[in-house]
Chain A
Amino acid sequence: MKQQRPLTITAGRLVLPGEVRTGAIRCVDGQIVGIGDVTPQDGDDVVDAGGKLIAPGLVDLGVFAVDKPAFHFGGITRAALMPDQAPPLDHPARVQFLAYSGKPDFWVHPLAAATRGLEGSELAELALMLDAGARGIATGRRWIADSGIMLRLLRYAAMLDLAVVSHSEDAGLAGNAVATAGEMATRLGLPSAPAEAEALAVARDIALAEIAGARLHLRQVTTKASLDLVRAAKRRGVAVSAGVTPAHFMLSDFAMAEFRTFARLSPPLRQESDRRAVVEAIGDGTIDVISSGHDPRGPEDKRLPFADAEPGMAGAESLLAMVLSLVRDDVIDLPRAFSLLAGKPGELLGVPAGSLALDQEADIALIDPEKPWVISSARMAASAGNTPFDGQPVQGRVTALFKGGVAIG
Chain B
Amino acid sequence: MTSSPNTPAMGRYPAGGLAFPHRGLLGIAGLQNHEILFLLDEAEQWVELNRRSAKHSETLAGLTIINAFFENSTRTLLSFEIAGKRLGADVVNMQAAQSSIKKGETLIDTGVTLNAMRADAIVIRHASSGAVALIADQVACPVLNAGDGQHEHPTQALLDALTLRHALRERGRSDEFNGLIVTICGDILHSRVARSNILCLSSLGARVRVCAPPALMPEAIDAMGAEPYHDFEAAMDGADAVMMLRLQNERMQGQFIPSPREYRHLYGLTAERLNRCAPNALVMHPGPMNRGVEIESDIADLMGTSLVTRQVEMGVAIRMACLDVLTRRARGVDGWAEAGERSA
Interfacial residues, chain A to chain B (CB-CB below 8 A): 181-183, 185-192, 194, 258-259, 299-300, 303-308
Q: Give chain A nearest CB distance to B215 CB in angstroms.
A: 12
Contact check, B219 vs A181: say whether CB atoms are below 8 A apart: yes
Roughly how many angstroms separate A181 CA and B149 CA in the complex, as a whole number? 17
Contact check, A305 vs B218: say whether CB atoms are below 8 A apart: no
Identify B29's interface contact among A183, A187, A303, CB under 8 A: A187
Note all chain A residues with C-beta closer than 8 A to B107. Answer: 303-305
Known: A259-B130, A307-B129. A189 touches B106 (CB 8 A): no
Roughly how many angstroms separate A206 CA and B219 CA in the complex, as a whole number? 29
Contact check, A185 vs B128: say whether CB atoms are below 8 A apart: no
Q: Give chain B nearest CB distance to A284 CB in angstroms.
A: 29
Contact check, A188 vs B129: say whether CB atoms are below 8 A apart: yes
Q: Give chain A nearest CB distance to B89 CB in angstroms.
A: 28
Contact check, B129 vs A189: say whether CB atoms are below 8 A apart: yes
Identify A183's interface contact among B133, B151, B223, CB under 8 A: B223
Q: Give chain B nearest CB distance to A264 CB in angstroms.
A: 11
Q: Mark B132-174, 1 if CB is under 8 A from A, else 0.
A: 0110000000000000111110000000000000000000000
Contact check, A189 vs B151: say whether CB atoms are below 8 A apart: yes
Contact check, B223 vs A190: say whether CB atoms are below 8 A apart: no
Closest 5 CB pairs of A and B: A259-B130, A305-B128, A189-B150, A189-B151, A181-B219
Identify B106's interface contact among A186, A188, A258, A303, CB under 8 A: A303
Interfacial residues, chain B to chain A (CB-CB below 8 A): 29, 106-108, 126, 128-131, 133-134, 148-152, 192, 195, 218-221, 223-224
Chain B interface mostly: mixed
Identify A188's interface contact among B108, B126, B151, CB under 8 A: B151
Contact check, B131 vs A305: say whether CB atoms are below 8 A apart: yes
Contact check, B192 vs A300: say whether CB atoms are below 8 A apart: no
Contact check, A305 vs B126: say whether CB atoms are below 8 A apart: yes
Note all chain A residues with C-beta closer than 8 A to B223. Answer: 183, 186-187
Contact check, B133 vs A258: say whether CB atoms are below 8 A apart: yes
Roughly how many angstroms separate A304 CA and B106 CA in the complex, as a whole number? 8
Contact check, A182 vs B128: say whether CB atoms are below 8 A apart: no
Known: A186-B221, A188-B151. A307 touches B106 (CB 8 A): no
Note all chain A residues with C-beta closer than 8 A to B106. Answer: 300, 303-304
Note all chain B residues with C-beta closer than 8 A to A191. Answer: 150
Contact check, A307 vs B128: say whether CB atoms are below 8 A apart: yes
Among residues of B, the one whose C-beta sits closest to the C-beta of A190 is: B129
Q: Give chain A nearest CB distance to B150 CB in angstroms.
A: 3
Among residues of B, the one whose C-beta sits closest to the C-beta of A300 is: B106
Note all chain B residues with C-beta closer than 8 A to A299. Answer: 108
Contact check, B192 vs A189: say whether CB atoms are below 8 A apart: yes
Roughly how many angstroms separate A315 CA and B68 CA in the complex, as a whole number? 37
Contact check, B131 vs A186: say whether CB atoms are below 8 A apart: no
Q: Give chain A nearest CB distance to B329 CB in angstroms.
A: 23
Known: A182-B220, A188-B129. A305 touches B150 (CB 8 A): no
Known: A303-B108, A304-B107. A186 touches B134 (CB 8 A): no
Note all chain B residues with C-beta closer than 8 A to A181. Answer: 218-220
Contact check, A307 vs B219: say whether CB atoms are below 8 A apart: no
Note all chain A residues with C-beta closer than 8 A to B152. Answer: 189
Known: A259-B130, A259-B134, A305-B107. A189 touches B221 (CB 8 A): no
Among residues of A, the one whose C-beta sits closest to the C-beta of B130 is: A259
Contact check, A259 vs B133: say whether CB atoms are below 8 A apart: yes
Note all chain A residues with C-beta closer than 8 A to B108. Answer: 299, 303
Roughly how many angstroms separate A306 CA and B150 CA in the complex, as a whole number? 12
Note all chain B residues with C-beta closer than 8 A to A300. Answer: 106
Identify B149's interface contact among A189, A194, A303, A304, CB under 8 A: A189
Q: Can you pick out 5 interface pairs between chain A and chain B where the beta carbons lie within 8 Å of each other?
A: A188-B129, A259-B134, A304-B107, A305-B134, A305-B148
Roughly how many angstroms separate A338 CA and B37 CA in the complex, as a whole number? 58
Roughly how many angstroms separate A188 CA and B224 CA in the complex, as a whole number? 11
For the complex with contacts A187-B223, A188-B151, 7 further pairs of A-B residues with Cβ separation under 8 Å are A181-B219, A186-B220, A186-B224, A188-B129, A259-B129, A305-B131, A307-B130
Among residues of A, the one whose C-beta sits closest to the C-beta of B131 is: A305
Roughly how many angstroms separate A388 CA and B151 CA in the complex, as a whole number? 22
Identify A192's interface contact among B130, B134, B192, B219, CB under 8 A: B219
Among residues of A, the one whose C-beta sits closest to the C-beta of B188 is: A186
Among residues of A, the one whose C-beta sits closest to the C-beta of B29 is: A187
Roughly how many angstroms separate A259 CA and B134 CA in the complex, as a whole number? 9
Roughly how many angstroms separate A257 CA and B149 CA in the complex, as a whole number? 16
Roughly how many angstroms separate A190 CA and B149 CA in the complex, as a whole number? 8
Known: A303-B134, A304-B106, A305-B128. A187 touches B224 (CB 8 A): yes
Q: Give chain A nearest CB distance to B122 CB in angstroms.
A: 16
Contact check, B219 vs A305: say whether CB atoms are below 8 A apart: no
Roughly how many angstroms separate A260 CA and B106 CA in the complex, as a whole number? 17
Known: A305-B107, A305-B128, A306-B128. A189 touches B195 (CB 8 A): yes
Quick one: which of B107, B108, B126, B149 has the most chain A CB within 10 A?
Answer: B149
Note all chain A residues with C-beta closer than 8 A to B129. Answer: 188-190, 259, 305-307
Contact check, B130 vs A188: say whether CB atoms are below 8 A apart: yes
Note all chain A residues with C-beta closer than 8 A to B151. Answer: 188-190
Roughly how many angstroms separate A181 CA and B219 CA in the complex, as a whole number? 6
Roughly how many angstroms separate A303 CA and B221 CA in the complex, as a whole number? 28
Roughly how many angstroms separate A123 CA and B255 CA in the complex, as a whole number? 32
Contact check, A304 vs B134: say whether CB atoms are below 8 A apart: yes
Quick one: which of A190, A259, A305 has the most chain B CB within 10 A?
Answer: A305
Contact check, B131 vs A183: say whether CB atoms are below 8 A apart: no
Roughly how many angstroms separate A305 CA and B106 CA in the complex, as a whole number? 10
Q: Give chain A nearest CB distance to B114 CB in angstroms.
A: 16
Q: Give chain A nearest CB distance to B141 CB in angstroms.
A: 20
Quick one: which of A192, A306, A307, A308 has the most chain B CB within 10 A?
Answer: A308
